[in-house]
Amino acid sequence: MEVGLKMGFEETELRLGLPGGGDGGEVVRKRGFSETVDLKLKLSSKQGSSGIDPNEEKMTGLTKEKNLLLSATDPAKPPAKAQVVGWPPVRSFRKNILATATQKSSSDESGGEKAAFVKVSMDGAPYLRKVDLRMYTSYHQLSDALAKMFSSFTIGNCGSQGVKDFMNESKLMDLLNSSDYVPTYEDKDGDWMLVGDVPWEMFVESCKRLRIMKGTEAIGLAPKAVEKCKKRG
# binding residues, another protein (CB under 8 A):
45
| Range in contact with another protein (rule: CB under 8 A) among 99-107, 110-118, 181-189, 199-207 | 99-107
Q: Which of 40, 42, 46, 58 binds another protein (CB under 8 A)?
A: 58
Please tell me whether residue 232 binds another protein under the rule CB under 8 A.
no
Please report the beta strands in the chain, taking only residues with DSSP state E, as ranges in sequence order.
117-122, 129-132, 181-186, 192-194, 209-214
Q: Which of 19, 71, 84, 138 binds another protein (CB under 8 A)?
A: 84
Please tell me whether residue 83 binds another protein under the rule CB under 8 A.
yes
What is the DSSP secondary-structure string of 95-153?
Answer: TTHHHHHHHHHHHHHHTTPPP-EEEEEETT-SS-EEEEGGG-SSHHHHHHHHHHHTBS-
Please tell me whether residue 68 binds another protein under the rule CB under 8 A.
yes
DSSP label of 58:
G
Residue from 34, 18, 29, 17 nearest 124 by CA = 34
Q: Which of 42, 46, 97, 231 binds another protein (CB under 8 A)?
A: 97
Q: How far is the CB of 189 from another protein (least distance, A)?
A: 32
Q: Are 171 and 163 in contact (CB under 8 A)?
A: no
| Range in contact with another protein (rule: CB under 8 A) among 59-67, 166-174, 177-185, 198-206 | 59-67
Q: Which residues contact 14 (CB under 8 A, 6 or more apart)?
A: 30, 47, 48, 122, 124, 125, 150, 151, 153, 181
CA–CA separation, 125 vs 82, rounded Å? 22
Chain residues 183-222 in contact with another protein, contact rule CB under 8 A: none
Cβ closer to another protein: 35 or 180? 35
Give ∠ CA 50-55-57 in degrees, rounded to 5. Answer: 105
Q: Which of 22, 124, 127, 214 binds another protein (CB under 8 A)?
A: 127
Per CB under 8 A, residues contacting another protein are 1, 3, 5-7, 9-12, 23, 36, 55, 58-59, 61-62, 64-69, 83-95, 97-98, 101, 104-105, 127, 149-152
